[in-house]
Amino acid sequence: MKELSGLKHIIISATLFLAALLSVQAQQQQEPVMPGEKPKPTKYVAVEEQKQHLVFFQGFTLSVDGYGPVAMMISDYGTFEGALRLNLKNTFFPIFEAGVGRCSKEDFNTKVTYETSAPFGRIGIDFNMLKDKFQSNRLYLGARYGFSKFKYDIAGPAQSDPIWGGSIPFSMKDINCTSHWAELIFGVEVTIFKNFHMGWAVRYKRELASTKNDYAKPNCIPGYGYTTNTTCWGGTYSLIFDLNWGMKKSHKRGVNIEIRDIVPANAINNEMQNNNPEENNGD
């Protein structure tokens, strides 16, 4: 519909421009006024096209991630998370994300188990890279700062004492940890129906700092993922709802048309000369 509206707008503008050009040519080629004949008015068409401007605050959106719960059902780690995002001129999107991350993992070789469940938060901004900011589809780059304060449990098979004999149980609970990380995001968002959108994003994550512990490093950070390396990849598949409640999206697009009668200057001069024959004879 937007393409048809744009095409219609171009056709109207071209037609009005042609009409204005023909009126100017007709004015230049107008026949001289004969003595005693009144000058004929010329139609003058003034065309002024309004520019379209986006309102600065376009509302905000709420979104939920559909990938995290699925990952939790089919793997050792997953999340439940949502986001609140502001829309500034459909270009900049400050965003706050929050959720709960859970991990329950057992190492196949060592039989050591790791468990944690804790909230996390992220704050950042997305930038819409598409040139046409009036459409609802978006292609964006973004950045996030992530934070989580959590506790985790580690347990494993009893360890035998090679010197004194016997076995020692291996179990540590409620180990405190605080972690910080950064994310770079590339994502796509498409309109499904009116204010309902769907989108996916790829996330490159890098751990910045975590609380050091004498016992063991956290194997998984809620909201971040596994800590096998200092970097990791993640993804989200979001269901997004625009909540603008009828907010004005942009100034009206259109064409102002003014049509009025004018009398050519040469016709006025001829009429004045015809009305003053004595002055003409004196010359």
Distance CA 29, CA 128 (A): 52
**Closest C-alpha among 49, 44, 46, 9 to residue 23:** 44
pLDDT in tens, 53-70: 778 888 899 999 999 999
Domain 57-243 CATH assignment equals 2.40.160.20: yes
The single residue listed with the structure tokens 């498409």 is 190
Distance CA 123, CA 141 (A): 14
pTM of the model: 0.67
Q: How many CA atoms lie within 13 A of 76 on its CB side?
A: 15
Domain ranges of the chain: 2-52+252-282, 57-243
- Check if the beta carbon of residue 180 is closer than 8 Å to that of residue 145: yes
Query: What is residue 270's predicted lDDT score, i.e. its pLDDT?
Result: 55
Query: What is residue 274's predicted lDDT score, i.e. its pLDDT?
Result: 56
Residue 116 in 3-state DSSP?
strand
Show pLDDT as tens, one digit a residue, over the chain (283 residues). Answer: 555 555 555 666 666 666 665 555 555 555 555 555 655 665 555 555 555 677 888 889 999 999 999 999 999 999 999 999 999 988 999 999 999 999 999 888 888 899 999 999 999 999 999 998 888 899 999 999 999 999 999 988 877 766 666 667 778 889 999 999 999 999 999 999 888 999 999 999 999 999 888 777 899 999 999 998 889 999 999 999 988 754 555 555 555 555 555 555 555 555 555 555 555 454 4
The values of phi and psi at residue 248, to 5°, are -65, 120
Kindly write down the DSSP assignment for every residue of 54-81, as one continuous string. Answer: B-SEEEEEEEEESHHHHHHHHSSEEEEE
Distance CA 242, CA 245 (A): 9
Q: What residues contact residue 72 under an 8 Å CB cut-off, 6+ apart?
A: 78, 79, 80, 102
Query: What is residue 105's predicted lDDT score, i.e. its pLDDT?
Result: 92
**Closest C-alpha among 228, 134, 222 to residue 178:** 222
The single residue listed with the structure tokens 């009828």 is 246
